[in-house]
Chains A and B, each alone.
Chain A
Amino acid sequence: MRTGAQCVIDGLIQAGVKTVFGIPGGAVLDLYAALYRAPIEFVLTRHEQGAAHMADGYARASGKPGVCIVTSGPGATNTVTGLATAFMDGIPVVCITGQVPSHMIGNDAFQEADTLGITRSVTKHNYLVRDVDDLPRIMAEAFKIATIGRPGPVLIDIPKDIQRAKTKAVCTSEPELRNYKPTIRGHPKQVAKLAHAINSAKRPLILAGGGVIAGDASAELTAVARKANIPVATTLLGLGAFPETDPLALRMVGMHGLVAANLAISHCDLLISVGARFDDRVTGKVSEFAPHATIAHIDIDPSSISKSIETDIPVVGHVKYVLEDLLKLVEPMDRREWLSQLAEWKSKHPLSYNGSEGRLPPQYVIETLYRVTEGSAIVVTDVGQHQMWAAHYYLYREPRSFLSSGGLGTMGYGLPAAIGAQMARPEKRVAVISGDGSIQMNFQEMVVAVEHRLPLVIVVLNNRHLGMVRQWQAMFYNREYAASVLKPKGRGPNEKVLPPCTSDYLPDFVRLAEAHGAVGIRVCRPEDVEPALRKAWVERERPTLVECLVEEEENVYPMVPPGASLSEMVHSLA
């Protein structure tokens, strides 16, 4: 006979889980008691949102499901943002929550919340365990559901009495999901149709999304692109799916996409979306998206096809296997005209910023980080301007090297996700690129990085603003910076003017880092950026926060204004 809590641990071990993130509490004491003796590393986070993001970062960096265990009520509700983040981006996470004892459910018991109801719309599936005999099966099912098809978070809510109850039931290694059998192989006719379209297209373009990374299909994608000479643009979450250093790479498309990539969409005659779901930040004005193109879409999730963009050649299947089949059917082609047109656009419209003397442009910081890390870091971002600059000025050469909250756009994702990523990939170095707004959401997790001696390089681009909000206010709201300035309100007449390179804003990030046991460095001149980043890069035992006091009113360009088509890119305020 095993207790419910032991069944949970058995399920974790069976699923190959090595690391679990979370915070204990009354309703999960039994689970934690069982975990105490288990061969699983436990990471105590400082907030349950941090636990959920760490599980997510762990999953994105490794491809294996991330796991968090939290208590009932507030423990569970604190994970909601993390679950929604993972749900939007299709990340395999298993979240185990404690629940009040079965007989108390519905009584407004202490630390009770309707976790099942609250998380229903932000999980791929969720369970409330009512009978301990079901628990071994549910554990196995949860990991299967989280990882097959379009991956996503699964939550298991376990009442305290079920954790203590005993059962003879055991885990079956391969649970049967009679209703959920995602299509793996693409329909041969559709694959052939797509191959024919590629072989007869003059200006084909691949748009690679997060699905290529989730499906471990980078090698197959690269093979198809190189064999048939097809240029590749990526979505934000597709960064790294195709080496950005490759001559065929057009890099990121969308609202802050590169000019050549967006022009390629507007001029191609065949657009092949591979695991990209045509998010509104990618398409711009839907009616003018890829106006000359036949649209093909390879996706494991049928509901992503023709959701926002009408698809001419849908191929439902696992991208890896569809691309494998496609590779045999596509023919080598010259496409000189199309490629030279793209090369012209690339050289005519490079990314650019004002690097004149006396300025510290945020873009320069990222360029320097790229140089210092030799492009080898796993870059984890928060959300905002810095996220776009991280996409622009760092070149991603391999999958799982760029982690970011794309769909939900969760500020506060970066630091905890980076901790999860570093735990999953100890052999790699992990860099966080954040802003002064984002880093303050979930800064508490810094102590976790310190406790576990993770040598994270944390770059905070401090522009004393919620930068992306301020940019929109500058562009579309008459430069009225409503609630987007992160500085004390006007100084009194008797306050002395501070010397340069001190903080005229709150908090003091250097001292904040130091208070958490991390290294803190402040930089305000371009020439100090590289030495600071090098210092952070050679640190092996502790996280280093490098705060860069960058230009306050730098904007992210190019930008496709909301509601405009991808060909209408704006390059300056005027």
Chain B
Amino acid sequence: MKHIVTLLVENKPGVLARIVGLISGRGYNIEGLTVAPTHDPEVSKMTIEVPGDDRVLEQVTKQLNKLIDVIKVADLTSQRFFGQEMILVKVAAGPEQRRGVLDIAEIFGAVVLGVQASSMTLRLADSPGRIAEFLDLVKPFRILDVSRSGMIAMPADGI
């Protein structure tokens, strides 16, 4: 099972390496990771997607909590939370296909960032499930490139 762990950490050099090093050094895996400063410039928030059972996650959480630069660790998986991801996708679409791609984009609320002679570049920010659906639908047009941000997450209640 995949767990979504959010961390508040000191916004200092080397903190990311510390966290990634701890997780990989103890034999755990990271499937996704985002990090950026919060409204407090001294604090960064990280969202990490870690596969593993509850026991593994309990260890990961406890070990992360031991790091001096970690302010707070939360495993969001057991509660209601918002998890969002952004993707950029370049689809092979000449003049005949543009309408079809645009229809899908409109339904999903994706934004057209640019149109080229034989391709279109779109942006979509949504839940991982919706993003998967969107990618399935544009797949027949031939996907040339995808960039994914990795998930950012926040609990529905509280902080």
Contacts and interface: CB of A to CB of B under 8 A. Distances in A.
A363 to B, nearest CB: 38
B59 A303 contact: yes
Contacts of A145: 68
Nearest to B71: A179
A307 B21 contact: no
A125 B55 CA distance: 25
Nearest to B62: A303
Interface stretch (B10-18, B80-88, B90-98, B118-126): B10-18
B66 A301 contact: yes
Nearest to B26: A121
21 contacts: A116-B14, A120-B17, A120-B18, A121-B21, A121-B22, A125-B67, A125-B68, A128-B13, A130-B13, A177-B68, A178-B71, A179-B68, A179-B70, A179-B71, A180-B68, A301-B66, A303-B62, A303-B63, A303-B65, A303-B66, A306-B55
A407 interface: no
Interface of A: 116-117, 120-121, 124-125, 128, 130, 145, 177-180, 301-303, 306-307
Interface string B48-68: 000000010011001101111
A179 B67 CA distance: 9
Interface of B: 10, 13-14, 17-18, 21-22, 25, 55, 58-59, 62-63, 65-71
Contacts of B70: 179
A430 B66 CA distance: 35
Contacts of A180: 68
Contacts of A303: 59, 62-63, 65-66
Instruction: Name the 6 nearest CB pairs between A and B, nearest first.
Output: A303-B62, A125-B68, A179-B71, A121-B25, A180-B68, A302-B62
Nearest to B68: A125
Grouping DSSP codes into helix (H, G, I), strand (E, B) and loop, the B interface class, with mixed when no group exceeds half, is: helix
Contacts of A128: 13-14
A307 B68 contact: no
Nearest to B58: A306
Contact of A120 (B21, B65, B71): B21
B52 to A, nearest CB: 14
B84 to A, nearest CB: 27
A484 to B, nearest CB: 30
Contacts of A116: 14
B59 A117 contact: no
A157 to B, nearest CB: 11
Contacts of A302: 62, 65
Contacts of B25: 121
A211 to B, nearest CB: 15
B20 to A, nearest CB: 10
A549 to B, nearest CB: 43
Nearest to A308: B59
B148 to A, nearest CB: 28
Contacts of B71: 178-179
A177 B65 CA distance: 13
B7 to A, nearest CB: 11
A179 B68 CA distance: 6
A306 to B, nearest CB: 7
A130 B59 CA distance: 32
Nearest to A116: B14
Contacts of B22: 121
B10 A179 contact: yes
B73 to A, nearest CB: 11
A117 B13 CA distance: 12
Contact of B17 (A117, A130, A179, A307): A117
